[in-house]
Amino acid sequence: MTNIVYKSSIYIRPVTYPQAQRKTFDFVCSSCWRNLVIWAQEDRDEYLVLCVSCDEDTRGFVHESTVERKKTEDHFNSQEVKKAYPALDPNPREKKSAEDNINDLGF
């Protein structure tokens, strides 16, 4: 006989299976933006939706589209900072002439 692990959370309320399924399709963890998984409760009529990495410390959910929009905004903001403050760029690229590039390639 296998040991069944039941999870608990002080932040997340148990929901019905259709609600849990909907959450795993449309939402991600609000803390780390990782995927969610469904855990059955002892009651069998209720299920917990928890993050794969935060587990029982999952504090909430955020819609995937919000995360994608935030990632895009962050990317463009980082590009603006790199242009405004090139000395802060951890991976500076040297500007080389066409002749230097040809010489580096061995031609």
Q: Which residue has the tokens 């002439």?
A: 97
Token couple for 99: 């002749």
Q: Which residue has the tokens 């959450």?
A: 23
pLDDT confidence bin for 2, thresholds 50/70/90: low
pTM for the whole thing? 0.68
Q: How much is the CA Rg of the chain, to the nearest whole Å?
A: 23
Q: Write out pLDDT tens, residues 34-92.
A: 999 999 888 778 999 999 999 889 899 999 999 999 999 999 998 898 888 888 777 77
For the chain, which residues make up each domain, given as ranges?
Answer: 1-87
